[in-house]
């Protein structure tokens, strides 16, 4: 097996379909892979769109669930079940 540099490893993983290199904030090696032509801008954009879409969809669902729970809660009917106390 030939020795690969870290930027080459990044390129190989991303080009194989990995959208994120876990536990890594290593922008320099990703940038080096791009600058050497081992990863295309198109592939980086595809990964970014996929990750951001998934992230925002997750948060949208969580927000919708929270709103739904709030809509079901009324002070007069459920104040004993509340985790908070409102003082007037």
Residue 19 has pLDDT above 70, yes or no: yes
pTM more than 0.75: no
Mean pLDDT of the region 15-35: 84
Q: Is 4 left (phi over 0), alpha (psi -120 to 50) or beta?
A: beta
Instruction: Locate the domains of the chain by residue range.
Output: 6-76
Residue 88: pLDDT band (50, 70, 90) is very low
Closest CA to 20 of 62, 56, 54: 54
pLDDT tens-digit map of 34-53: 999 999 999 989 988 988 88
Closest CA to 10 of 42, 54, 43: 43
Residue 74 has pLDDT above 70, yes or no: no
Mean pLDDT (the chain, rounded): 79
The Cα–Cα gap between 21 and 15 comes to 12
Q: pLDDT at position 4, please? A: 92
């Amino acid at each position: 097996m030939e020795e690969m540099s870290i930027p080459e490893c990044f390129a190989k993983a991303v080009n194989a379909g990995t959208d994120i290199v876990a536990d890594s904030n290593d922008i320099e090696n990703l940038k080096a892979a791009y600058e050497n032509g081992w990863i295309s801008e198109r592939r980086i954009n595809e990964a970014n769109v996929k990750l951001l879409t998934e992230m925002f969809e997750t948060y949208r669902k969580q927000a919708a669930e929270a709103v739904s729970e709030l809509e079901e809660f009324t002070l007069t009917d459920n104040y004993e079940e509340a985790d908070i106390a409102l003082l007037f």
